[in-house]
Chain A
Amino acid sequence: MRFNCLICGKGGQGVITLNRTIGNILSLLGYKVISAETHGMAMRGGSVSTFLKCGEFKSAGFGYNQADYIISTDYEEYLNNKHYLKNDGYNIVNTDKNNKNNNGVFFDATKLSLKIFKSPKYANYFLLFIFFSLLGKIDLIDVKNILINQKLLDENKYTLILKELKDVI
């Protein structure tokens, strides 16, 4: 499997954790992944973007118009990075605005997380499961099992998230 993915958002929204979680899951499932993060100043609310490549690569870099996926925890940061997306690439964006376009999913993951879990902190799991279902090839049960093993999620939360996502995808 080969793909390029850009994950972006604002410092504090869990961008780096999301990047690490996706890379970890793919590595444990036997894929070769390389990703690049930015730390430091960025964690104080500044723009954060991370690159992730799956396949036989030496670096995590790619140029404009080369991303198969953009996952963004923030609408403005999606706008800042959308020039990286291929013409037939997918966007997965957490936004409270009613933005729609043909090649992506725009939805209010924070609101969903607040609704089900009374906390915004599960918002990125909605993005993660949408990403893995768009990616195909990987069984969501395998993803779930890894997350449960690492004590990031439990069976009940997984069921609730998947139930909500049926209406989004």
Chain B
Amino acid sequence: MKNFLMGNELIALAAYNAGVRSAYAYPGTPSSEILEYFSKISDEVYAQWSINEKIALELAGAEAISGKYVLCSMKQVGLNVAADPFFSIAYTGVKGALVIASADDPGPYSSQTEQDSRMYAMSAKLPVFDPINPEDAYFLTKKAVDLSHKYEIPVMIRPVMRVCHSRQSIDVDIEKNNLIISNSFEKDTARWAATPKFRKQLHSILNQKLKDISNKYYKEFKINKKSDFAVVGSGYSFAMAMDIVAEDGLNIDLYKLDLPFPLSDELIKSLLEEYEKILVIEETQPVIEMQFARRDKVFGRLNDFITNMGELTYQYLQSKLYQFLGKQNEIEEFDVNVKSAKPRLCPGCGHRPAFYAIKKVAKNRGIFPGDIGCYTLGVNLEAVDTCICMGASVTFAEGLKRANNDKVVIATIGDSTFFHTGVPALINAVANDSKIVLAILDNETTAMTGFQPVPHKHKKISIERVVKGCGVDFCKTIDPYDFDGSIRLLNEAIEYSEKNSTPAVVIFKHPCITKIKYKGKKKVVITDKCKNCKICYEKFECPAIFEDKLANAAKIDELLCVNCGVCMSVCPFDAIAYVDEVDDEV
């Protein structure tokens, strides 16, 4: 085995090997590595981190109707943002090929919902593949590209997080292919710019495509009956079911359905005729199960046999498979006592003093709408009260201020998220005289998802000019390491906003600590003035400071500390100080 590759890497590689040369995406866990890997496959590819998913999908669609083979990747909540073009382009179809990789997050591990992208595919009437593991993702992505080209239809591949972020031994290579891809847009108004009258015709063509695809795809599917019990399904949870059936020697026939939508009516009918009982295993919504419309035989989420939320674990599936067979589950019960460590902002992160300053100026009358990114962790510092979806901090600030006029509303948003969907929200707040303060936390990268580039990186665009262009007159920038200056500036912004009935913007600019490898020259220590008031390690929650219970004082973990010294500004007893020069090597 030559390679040990991640599901996301294999999706990118398969797309390339099937002829895809352009890809568009907005970063989001667990999908980000797809575009990252694609961009590095060869010099002949075009890969773009777009401003948001709607823009990414529209760009991909425009190339695909010109005959190009294109990949567009996003996470499941990104598909919400891209839903508008997603539904429409299903009707127009494409000329080359368009594969949309939408990564789901059952659990959820790093998302605001557990939604199932396959539901979108079904709703938009687009075929969707659901790979069980990285190797399967490779082969199904190739099939998706071929299917898309053959039927001139966008095709979705929906990996769950466990497929995206699993790695598997596999023998694959970068393949050169001799595909001749036409590369020009042919005008056809009835198709590409359809008025409602033509749209109905396009809908009818789409329906026919789906019928052809389901019949063709499942034509060779063999039913091989050895047991009265069958388990059907797709995705990673089905891979675990396959492992459990093999490991435990269970008498169950397994049917992996690569393409959960559209399923073939013939296939469903034969399975229902052959088997006494059928269990459907899939995540996270009953897409396959709904197509098996027989409540008497079919077990799954619709009859509450399988839970309707959360990730399906090996442990859980094992007990359900035994229960399905009517067998005693001989697995020991465990008393599991897990104290998981919560994620925190890194030592030296510029967001920490910014949040601490925001909380301090608002005193007890602050409401803090937050947004999506590393800085959602402002909840730990009690400086984030709401987190809904990308860009919603700005709109929530406007709404919260209207409903709570006596409160000070300070919203926080990251640089990448501001460009993603914050800009229209800010224009709306200006147009509607909203008395809010917006703090843009600019660390010059999309940090949480793995440091993808941001639009203002190459100075072609600046946040200040965009903010001013939105109609905001008060826009000032400060380094949050200047803690006292930050407090003064926030107070100034609050006053300006209230007095002039308009939003005020403060840009907290400090590069991401993990990118600049910051190491202060002087060492930070806690002196014997420390009263163990807990502020530095609990309220300011720097991960590099902990409580030394024996000494009844705070103590610095030298391996974690970057010697930024920001904690000195928040210590009420002046008990933190710089000492001697430190060795650069450490």
Judge if A61 is at the interface, Cβ distance under 8 Å: yes
B559: chain A residues at CB < 8 Å are 110, 120
B304: chain A residues at CB < 8 Å are none
> Which A residues from 34 to 48 make CB contacts under 8 A with B?
34-47
Question: Is A32's CB under 8 angstroms from B1's CB?
Answer: yes
Question: Is A45's CB under 8 angstroms from B341's CB?
Answer: yes
Question: Is chain B's interface secondary structure helix, strand, loop, or mixed overall?
Answer: loop
Question: Is B331's CB under 8 angstroms from A11's CB?
Answer: no
- Min Cβ gap A85→B in Å is 11
- Min Cβ gap B27→A in Å is 11
Judge if B2 is at the interface, Cβ distance under 8 Å: yes
Bound CA–CA A43/B331 (angstroms) = 33
- Nearest opposing residue in chain B for A44, CB measure: B343
Bound CA–CA A115/B344 (angstroms) = 29
Question: Is A40's CB under 8 angstroms from B448's CB?
Answer: yes
Knowing A20-B4, A31-B1, A58-B243, say if A40 contacts B314 (CB, 8 Å).
Answer: no
Judge if B342 is at the interface, Cβ distance under 8 Å: yes
Bound CA–CA A42/B343 (angstroms) = 6
Judge if A24 is at the interface, Cβ distance under 8 Å: yes
Question: Is B168's CB under 8 angstroms from A64's CB?
Answer: no
Question: Is A24's CB under 8 angstroms from B4's CB?
Answer: yes
Bound CA–CA A80/B318 (angstroms) = 21
Knowing A42-B343, A63-B314, say if A83 contacts B169 (CB, 8 Å).
Answer: no
Knowing A64-B315, A83-B334, say if A57 contacts B339 (CB, 8 Å).
Answer: no
Judge if B165 is at the interface, Cβ distance under 8 Å: yes
A77: chain B residues at CB < 8 Å are 341
Bound CA–CA A149/B362 (angstroms) = 56
Judge if B133 is at the interface, Cβ distance under 8 Å: yes
Bound CA–CA A12/B341 (angstroms) = 12
- Nearest opposing residue in chain B for A11, CB measure: B343
B533-558 vs A: 1/0 string, CB under 8 Å? 00000000001000000000000000
Knowing A45-B343, A57-B243, A80-B338, say if A23 contacts B4 (CB, 8 Å).
Answer: yes
- Nearest opposing residue in chain B for A62, CB measure: B314
Judge if B201 is at the interface, Cβ distance under 8 Å: no
Complex partner residue of B29 from A31, A35, A39, A64, CB under 8 angstroms: A39
A28: chain B residues at CB < 8 Å are 1-2, 4
Question: Is A10's CB under 8 angstroms from B344's CB?
Answer: no
Question: Is B346's CB under 8 angstroms from A44's CB?
Answer: yes
B1-19 vs A: 1/0 string, CB under 8 Å? 1111010000000000000
- Nearest opposing residue in chain A for B75, CB measure: A40
Bound CA–CA A62/B247 (angstroms) = 10
Bound CA–CA A37/B164 (angstroms) = 9
Question: Is B344's CB under 8 angstroms from A45's CB?
Answer: yes
Question: Is B340's CB under 8 angstroms from A40's CB?
Answer: no
Bound CA–CA A120/B134 (angstroms) = 33
Judge if B361 is at the interface, Cβ distance under 8 Å: no
Question: Is B236's CB under 8 angstroms from A40's CB?
Answer: no
Judge if A165 is at the interface, Cβ distance under 8 Å: no
Knowing A39-B29, A39-B165, A59-B236, say if A27 contacts B133 (CB, 8 Å).
Answer: no
- Nearest opposing residue in chain B for A33, CB measure: B169
- Min Cβ gap B446→A in Å is 12
- Min Cβ gap A49→B in Å is 9
B68: chain A residues at CB < 8 Å are none
Bound CA–CA A63/B346 (angstroms) = 32
Bound CA–CA A58/B247 (angstroms) = 11
Question: Is A34's CB under 8 angstroms from B343's CB?
Answer: no
Question: Is B168's CB under 8 angstroms from A38's CB?
Answer: no
Question: Is A118's CB under 8 angstroms from B242's CB?
Answer: no
Question: Is B343's CB under 8 angstroms from A80's CB?
Answer: no
Question: Is B586's CB under 8 angstroms from A118's CB?
Answer: yes
Question: Is A27's CB under 8 angstroms from B242's CB?
Answer: no
| Residue from B29, B339, B341, B374 having most chain A Cβ neighbours under 10 A | B341
Judge if A60 is at the interface, Cβ distance under 8 Å: yes
> Which B residues from 196 to 250 make CB contacts under 8 A with A?
236, 239-240, 242-243
Judge if B585 is at the interface, Cβ distance under 8 Å: yes
Bound CA–CA A63/B240 (angstroms) = 10
| Residue from B168, B239, B314, B374 having most chain A Cβ neighbours under 10 A | B168
> Which B residues from 314 to 367 make CB contacts under 8 A with A?
314-315, 318, 331-332, 334, 336, 338-346
Judge if A159 is at the interface, Cβ distance under 8 Å: no
A11: chain B residues at CB < 8 Å are 343
| Residue from A31, A32, A64, A118 having most chain B Cβ neighbours under 10 A | A64
B133: chain A residues at CB < 8 Å are 34, 58-59
Question: Is A46's CB under 8 angstroms from B166's CB?
Answer: no
Judge if B185 is at the interface, Cβ distance under 8 Å: no
Question: Is B339's CB under 8 angstroms from A20's CB?
Answer: no
Question: Is B167's CB under 8 angstroms from A37's CB?
Answer: yes
Judge if B370 is at the interface, Cβ distance under 8 Å: no
Question: Is B3's CB under 8 angstroms from A27's CB?
Answer: yes
Judge if B132 is at the interface, Cβ distance under 8 Å: yes
Bound CA–CA A28/B2 (angstroms) = 6
Question: Is B166's CB under 8 angstroms from A37's CB?
Answer: yes
Complex partner residue of A59 from B167, B239, B332, B343, CB under 8 angstroms: B239
Judge if B449 is at the interface, Cβ distance under 8 Å: yes
Bound CA–CA A139/B338 (angstroms) = 36
Complex partner residue of B339 from A26, A33, A76, CB under 8 angstroms: A76
Question: Is B166's CB under 8 angstroms from A34's CB?
Answer: yes
B573: chain A residues at CB < 8 Å are none
- Min Cβ gap B243→A in Å is 5
Complex partner residue of A83 from B2, B336, B339, B345, CB under 8 angstroms: B336
Question: Is B30's CB under 8 angstroms from A39's CB?
Answer: yes
- Nearest opposing residue in chain B for A47, CB measure: B340
- Min Cβ gap B25→A in Å is 16
B131-151 vs A: 1/0 string, CB under 8 Å? 011100000000000000000
Knowing A26-B169, A36-B165, A80-B338, say if A44 contacts B377 (CB, 8 Å).
Answer: yes
- Nearest opposing residue in chain A for B236, CB measure: A59
Bound CA–CA A60/B166 (angstroms) = 8
B340: chain A residues at CB < 8 Å are 46-47, 80
Bound CA–CA A58/B245 (angstroms) = 11
A75-90 vs B: 1/0 string, CB under 8 Å? 0110110010000000
Q: Can you give 5 contacting A-B residue pairs, CB < 8 Å?
A: A27-B169, A36-B165, A59-B162, A64-B334, A64-B336
List residues of chain A with CB under 8 Å of any chain B CB. Answer: 10-12, 19-20, 23-24, 26-28, 30-47, 57-65, 76-77, 79-80, 83, 110, 118-120
Known: A27-B3, A32-B1. 12 other contacts (CB 8 A): A20-B167, A34-B169, A39-B109, A44-B345, A45-B341, A45-B344, A46-B342, A59-B239, A61-B313, A62-B314, A64-B315, A83-B336
Q: Pick the 9 closest A-B CB pairs, nearest first.
A: A40-B110, A46-B343, A61-B314, A40-B29, A59-B239, A44-B343, A27-B169, A58-B239, A27-B4
